[in-house]
Amino acid sequence: MAVPVPVPHSPRIVRDTADDFKDFMSTTEYRSFVSVLCAAVFGICGYSDVNRYMLFANSVSSIANFFNSDALWPKLNRRHRRRVLRLLKHIDNDPKRYMWVIDDTLLPHFGSKIWGAYWWKDHCNGGTTLGHKLLVLGVLDRKNKLLIPVFWEVLHRDLTELTDEDIPQVHEKGWQVALRLLDEAELMGFPKLVFTGDTWFACEEFFDALNMRGTQYEFEIKSNRKIVEHKGRTFNKSAEEFFADRYRSGVYTGRTVKYAAEATVRFKDSMRKHKVIGVANRKANTDIFAYYISNVLTWNSSKIWGLARDRWGIEVQFRDLKQLFTLGKAAVQSRNAVETAISVAAIALTVIRLQQFDEADAEGNGWTRPRSAGAIIQQLSIRSEEHTSELQSPDHLVCR
């Protein structure tokens, strides 16, 4: 929402979502939740801005108390996860339609007193960024290419539960957090789905843990991973060297064709074989640009490449959360405020995602891409402006 406008009432889809969280809130907390959730949908953050543009909001102090309450954000997260499990009604009937996707993103901030903010390596620009590193585990609908965030956690560099100053700082490994979130998902009743992620999570410890859980997975790996065995023969080659001259067959993403070489190999320090594919833009005379592995040896290159392409849905989710919603924008410092701000942004995205799902299901069974989140928010904004005009103008001046 480029230019905020006064919103006289909450849109129906926002109010219906807020009603699912109403039972554990007081009247003041519920009113604050409706206002901050509606503001998040329109991309408005800040206690004063929420009070200024949401005409139905209560006082700034009440909104601040909502963000800083230590009892609300765990309940918001639990209810959100149960709600996603209930609303994704197709997940049990068609588990191949969905998959788990894990990834992390940086949320830059200014101020060293913000809870959970550290200096992190930024792989996009090669420098370092002060802020939060947020890890998100989401369910991706492969039919509509849309992802709903289900679990999220702010990563830490130090053991915050220990207060001894002599304890050195320890980087919390992302794959360990991912396993914990995956275990929580299974305890809540989510079915076992294919699990996918990028190279940051690709390590033997993670693969061994997923295999012990019986989880099928697909991950991108780096080209320098050492291959030591293939068809009973011993090797000591990197993936780049091993796949350089192997035969490539065509794999398709829509109308775009790529070329993939595949093999079943065993990597160094691994006791288990993996199906590996290397994808290139041309059939010959060009380098392979990406490598992917899976523990399902019967999958072919088209299956693995399709999963790898669908993983991009989580990157679209991060783009929407940062550009359209309020993820990382709220100027808050305490842990409760940080966690609540993240939860509200994720729930606001889910409001729009479920609207996209409903529109796609109404159009039929075709695997078509639904309207963008930005288009839906723009439509809600236009409706709000129309209501605002009627609210603030005399009846004889309103254009009808």
**For 95-151, how does the pLDDT look when each residue is reduced to its tens digit (9 = 90+)?**
788 999 999 999 998 877 899 888 888 887 888 999 999 999 999 998 888 999 999
Q: How confident is the model at residue 364 (pLDDT cuts 50, 70, 90)?
A: low
pLDDT of 392 > 60? The answer is no
Give dist(CA 220, CA 200) in Å, integer: 9
Identify the pLDDT of residue 125.
80
- How would residue 397 be classed by pLDDT, with cut points 50, 70 and 90? very low
Provide the pLDDT for residue 348.
96
240 φ, ψ (degrees, to nearest 5) = -65, -45
pLDDT over threshold 60, residue 367? no
- Please name the amino acid found at residue 239: A
C-alpha neighbours within 13 Å on the C-beta side of residue 358: 10
Question: What local confidence, expressed as pLDDT, does residue 258 receive?
Answer: 94
* Mean local confidence (pLDDT), 209-219: 95
Distance CA 285, CA 282 (A): 7
Question: d(Cα 120, Cα 129) in Å, to the nearest integer?
Answer: 5
Phi, psi of 6 (to 5 degrees): -60, 135
Asked whether residue 28 carries a pLDDT value surpassing 60, the answer given is: yes
| pLDDT at residue number 284 | 87
Torsion of CA 377, 383, 386, 390, to 10 degrees: -130
Residue 3 has pLDDT above 90, yes or no: no
The more confidently predicted of residues 381 and 366 is: 381
Residue 165 CB burial class (10 angstroms; 0-12, 13-18, ≥19): exposed
Strand partners, 138: 101, 149
Distance CA 192, CA 185 (A): 9
Residue 400 clears pLDDT 50, i.e. is over it? no
- Report the pLDDT averaged over residues 186-205: 93
* Tens-digit pLDDT profile for residues 285-341: 889 999 999 999 999 999 999 999 999 999 999 999 999 998 988 888 899 999 999
**41 contacts 348 by C-beta, under 8 angstroms:** yes
Report the amino acid identity of residue 216: Q
pLDDT confidence band for 170 (50 / 70 / 90):
low
Q: Is the dihedral of CA 261, 262, 265, 268 positive or negative?
A: positive
Name the average pLDDT for the chain. Answer: 87
Q: Is the pLDDT of residue 358 over 70?
A: yes
Which of these, 48, 134, 57, lies nearest to 332 by C-alpha position?
Answer: 48
Tokens 């792989």, residue located: 123
pLDDT, residue 171, reads 60
Q: Residue 391: pLDDT band by 50, 70, 90 thresholds?
A: very low
Q: What's the pLDDT score for residue 279?
A: 96
- pLDDT value of residue 230: 93
Return the pLDDT at 365.
57
Q: pLDDT > 90: what percent of the chain? A: 64
What number is the average pLDDT over the span 169-174?
A: 67
Q: What is the pLDDT of residue 78?
A: 96
Start-to-end CA span in the chain (Å): 24
Distances in Å between the alpha carbon of 387 and those of 134, 282, 320?
Answer: 37, 55, 26
- Over residues 141-169, the mean pLDDT reads 72
Q: Can you give the pLDDT at residue 396? A: 37
pLDDT at 164: 45
Confidence of residue 4 (pLDDT cuts 50, 70, 90): confident
Cα gap 214→196, rounded to integer Å: 14
pLDDT-derived band at 387 (thresholds 50, 70, 90) equals: low
Residue 311: C-alpha distances to residues 15, 39, 100, 196 (Å): 31, 29, 9, 7
Look up the pTM and report it.
Answer: 0.90
The whole-number average pLDDT for the span 219-224 is: 95
